[in-house]
Amino acid sequence: MEVVIVDSPSQVAQEAASRVLDYLHTNPTANIGLATGSTQQGIYQLLIDAYNEGRIDFGKNHFFQLDEYLGVPETSPTSFQHVLKSHFLEHVGVADGVLQVLDGNADDLESECSEFEHAIASAGGIDLQLLGIGRNGHIGFNEPGSAFDSRTRVVELQIETVQSNSHYFESEDRVPRHAITQGLATIMAAKFVLLIATGEAKAPALASMLCSPQSVATPASILQQHPNLIVILDKAAARDLP
């Protein structure tokens, strides 16, 4: 594991985007797992800039969604699928369909989950997985208590996550209580994982993830076992690290 601590959120985005670009230059056909959330926005903008400047071509990549709310229309600005398309994929010249979505409106959610796992396996696995971390230590929507051997499935969101994400919705009671997420074992199977975090609110979660014994109470702590993990933090998020 490599932990990189920089001064500011914009430096986190720069360092992370530069690691992604380095990785894609040597792995141009990589399958990429995409996280949503405010922390990721800077990376996506820098990747768009790199594309516009001719420094990267995403034409040979396939993309996999990390998680999605249940019951949010895919055209809603709060749908993760919509965010990934409108904030990134639509700006980097990739064809429709290169994003393997998690459909939170599927009639048969169990089949949706198993088909998603099958799609990852058929593509040869996820090469690069981008991640953020929740204040409660979640990755994807794997909330505290999630089994380390979990795969893609429907989960119930904890109140802390609902509250953290409520600013994207009209009010807290409009935040979906359920989501569909890659499981912890699904995430662990990615060949390279890049997790970023910024801000003091994430400091306790980062300390538990990196310094406490592995525990389902901090789902991100499973990553201590990942053979190829880079964690990029700003000073505020690293506040509680020794």
226 is catalytic: no
Alpha helices in the chain (DSSP H): 9-26, 41-52, 80-87, 109-122, 159-164, 184-188, 203-211
Is 35 a residue that touches ligand F6R (CB under 6 A)? yes
Q: Which of 6, 19, 30, 39 binds ligand F6R (CB under 6 A)?
A: 39
Work out whether 234 is an interface residue with ligand F6R (CB under 6 A): no
Is position 182 an interface residue for ligand F6R (rule: CB under 6 A)?
Answer: no
The verdict on 138 binding ligand F6R (CB under 6 A) reads yes
Q: Is 37 in the site for ligand F6R (CB under 6 A)?
A: yes
- Binding to ligand F6R (CB under 6 A): which residues in 61-80? 66-67, 80
Residues 6+ apart with CB under 8 A from 106: 112
| Residue closest to ligand F6R when measured from CB atoms | 132
Nearest alpha-carbon partner for 129 in 56, 196, 200, 53: 196
| Nearest-approach distance from CB 53 to ligand F6R, in angstroms | 26
Among 33, 42, 104, 132, binds ligand F6R (CB under 6 A): 132
Residue 103 known to be catalytic: no
Backbone angles phi, psi at 218, to 5 degrees: -125, 90
**Is residue 237 within 8 Å of 197, Cβ to Cβ?**
yes
Whether 107 is catalytic is no
User: Cα–Cα distance between 61 and 65 in angstroms, integer?
Assistant: 13
Q: Which of the following is catalytic: 127, 138, 142, 226?
A: 138
On whether the CB atoms of residues 132 and 118 are closer than 8 A, the answer is no
Interface ranges with ligand F6R (CB under 6 A): 35-39, 66-67, 80, 132-134, 138-140
